[in-house]
Amino acid sequence: MKIAVIGAGNVGATAALLIAQKELGEVVLVDIVESIAEGKALDIAEAGPVEGYESKVTGKTHDFAVIEGSDIVVVTSGVARKPGMSRSDLLHVNANIITSVTENIVQYAPNSMILMVSNPLDTMCYVAKVISGFPRHRVFGQAGVLDSARFRTFIAMELNVSVEDVQAMVLGGHGDSMVPLPSYSTVSGIPVTHLIPPDRLAQLIQRTRDGGAEIVGLLKTGSAFYAPGAAVAQMVESIVKDKRRLLPTTCWLEGEFGLSGVYVGVPAVLGKNGVESIVEVPLTEEEKTALHKSAEAVKEDMKRWEESRQK
């Protein structure tokens, strides 16, 4: 397969490196900053002899023609958050960038899948879907894998156990209203609700919601990129190898979970066609209410973007 990564910043370059290491296909990096894509692509290629991977990795400035024939286009373009900013604060500037990027995807890779990473993630998925006209199984976003990884990390740290034995599920929008699901989070099959007191579990859930902001605050000049890049690579691998992994994925809903006309994170099977299916799981009333509240927050951003288009 051919995998294009739009945006050769920290997230894009990390994703490209991990995709190359997994030998998932030819990787093409594109960026608007002069020669950064070429430089990082060459650096990744030169790591191949050391790490033992044979992936072809190239980069190009501005020239979107190099993504022609891509099967998957990972979009990481846009402005990163700074301390004190929410993901929604990036809405208008990143929507303009994603609009331009999507128009180029339609021109050069009309049969591709779009894996969105740029923030505000859920609304940027919507922008890409509207501009591209692609069916919903080919436009989806990476957020839940990252948010779940953070939740899994905090649970493992709390219990002093291996992260390999921790599974977790985080649904909803990729923002302050995301919905970690303790009822579907386990350690070797044991529900975390049996292992962690409710008040402490609530603190871990809040830390998960604040996970991105915590890293932004620590870095001060950027946002997270190692974990987001790893999450992208996991999703790409499930598609390329048709693994059909059940992963929390930002999907366009058409009635699932009682929601329609909105992008939010839900359990989805990822395979060779992109989103193969959405898996509806029973939720408690509290979880259902939280998911619908999260969806409403995403719809507000979608509405703001639509209104800006009319001006």
* Alpha carbons 251 and 4: distance in angstroms, whole number: 20
Q: Where are the beta strands (DSSP E) in the chain?
A: 2-6, 26-31, 57-61, 72-75, 113-116, 139-141, 166-167, 170-171, 179-180, 186-187, 190-191, 245-254, 260-271, 274-278
- Catalytic annotation, pick one of 62, 92, 137, 174: 174
Helices (H) and strands (E) in the chain, counts: 9, 14
Question: How would you classify the pairing of strands 2-6 and 72-75?
Answer: parallel
Q: Which residue from 108, 114, 127, 126 is spatially nearest to 5, judged by alpha carbons?
A: 114
Residue count of the chain = 311
Burial 28-48, CB ≥16 within 10 A → b, else e:
bbbbeeeebbbbbbeebbeeb
Is 174 catalytic? The answer is yes
Q: What is the longest distance spanned by two Cα atoms in the chain?
A: 54
Q: Which residue from 153, 184, 205, 163 is spatially nearest to 248, judged by alpha carbons?
A: 184
* Alpha carbons 9 and 93: distance in angstroms, whole number: 17
DSSP type of residue 191 = E
**Active site residue ranges:** 174
